[in-house]
Amino acid sequence: MGYLLGIDVGTSGTKTILCDASGKILASVTEEYPCYQPKPNWSEQNPADWWDATKKTIRAAIEKAGVKGGDVSGIGLSGQMHGAVLLDRDNSVLRSAILWNDQRTAAECRQITETVGAARLIDLACNPALTGFTAPKILWVRNNEPAIYEKTKKVLLPKDYVRFMLTGAFATEVSDASGTLLFDVKNRCWSKEVLSALHIDASLMPECFESPVVSGKVTAAVASELGIPAGTPVVGGGGDQAASAVGNGIVKTGVISATLGTSGVVFAFSDTVQTDPLGRVHTFCHAVPGKWHVMGVVLSAGGSFQWFRNNLGECEREQAKAEGVDPYDILCRKAAEAPVGSEGLYFLPYLTGERTPHANPNAKAAWIGLTARHRKAHMIRATLEGITYGMKDSLEIIKGMGVAINEIRVSGGGAASAFWRQLQADIYGNDVVTINVTAGGALGVALLAGVGTGAFKNVEQACDAVITIASRTKMDAATAATYQKCYPVYGALYQHLKKDFDDIQALVG
């Protein structure tokens, strides 16, 4: 019997799942590793940590499932998008990888926009120049570390470095390549025009595949180390969001996902290329061949709630320990004590700047509207409301683009809490559902591996075979009406504070 491995190279750790040929998950293992901030607003990781975690989790998943490694028939790769891994002519890593949440490249974003032209860039890459994307990172290295840039012979995305270590192949796939700013998203190939305009040699970029297509095969040396067959096919896979969308069944028109992890992502399937002329949301190639997706990102969604737990939730952590429950359960329980709208208290979730809809690395988090009446419960609820308003920003832009929204599937930490699910339904003004699986990107790429190795006919069939609706949370009409009045105030606060955010950033450098 053939088994499928789905590997998700995340920011906090690598998760590997092992499925049977029907998509049933038999084992799931995660190995964590550090993230480094050598300067304010910088974020880096060591690619060797990803590879070590990949090897450990593959071996552990096979052992945990109690199957024979020799029966593994296909591998799919997912991972954090936008990161830049620079290799020299000997295929050695030249420096730490600069990650998606690194904000050092504001000057390079201006350089790209001025060189290519703002409108032309959106026409070609379907996205504006943002600090998180890969192209600004490449230019930053060229501008600030020229000796390293001169030695660079290949640029890989995080999951594609793991692919190289598994197979020896320099390859990527269309969904992850879409987040480099060097990709012609409409035509699903590297953009000669953008590469030429930025004087980036096209040979630095890997070959690009559709997501379910086999992109390489496991080498004999790696196979021996991991106990899996030499020549095991590795499919293109997907960037974390496209892969998670496959894992959530977002592969047909009208089905939307709202995922609340460290970041928050609203993801919509599209049969055609649809772009926002203002560049407020992203348009990328989907992991479904010949399809696209539109995506909005809140950089510090669950990350804001985690910040609250870690810095202001000591009492709740102690209470959770005493009750044997998750601290987030206690925090949500307290949030429910505050009224809808938190009595005029608002939270702006811009702890690490913001992407959608403001694309502003200088944006700062804030509570606004505090009075002597407010208590901790109000602050917790306001935090959750602010995060969810941020998600609604993306949803409203996507609606305005004419993308159909028939069903919203919620996942991540925000779906684990009944309170937060209800909050989402009421703020979105739409019922929300959960599904029967929660493995996200790792499951998505395992299903892509199943398509690439013939276990499924296509991506849609794979999702239909594995994914079903597990629960439905109905919108409360009265509460939704209240939030409909509160939401415009939230949106106006950023506009009022935008210049102040820039002034604060200038003060702190």
Q: Which long-range contacts (CB under 8 A, 24 or more apart) does 22-26 make?
A: 22/455, 22/465, 22/466, 23/443, 23/446, 23/447, 23/450, 23/462, 23/465, 23/466, 24/466, 25/437, 25/439, 25/443, 26/64, 26/65, 26/66, 26/67
At 32, the amino acid letter reads E
- The size of the chain, in residues, is 509
> What whole-number distance in Å separates Cα of residue 393 and Cα of residue 314?
31
Kindly state the DSSP code that residue 261 receives in the 8-state scheme: S
DSSP bridge partners of 346 = 368
Locate 72 and state its tokens: 């593994």
Catalytic residues: 240
Between CA 453 and CA 73 the distance in angstroms is 7
Look at phi and psi of residue 286 and say left if phi exceeds 0, alpha if psi is from -120 to 50, else beta: beta
The answer to whether 312 and 388 have CB atoms below 8 angstroms apart is: no
Identity of the amino acid at 122 = I
Helix H or strand E segment including 384: helix 376-400
Partnered with residue 365 across adjacent β-strands are: none
With tokens 């390549």, the residue in question is 177
Closest residue by Cα to residue 184 from 109, 98, 117, 273: 273
Report the alpha-carbon distance of residue 256 to residue 369 in Å, rounded. Answer: 32
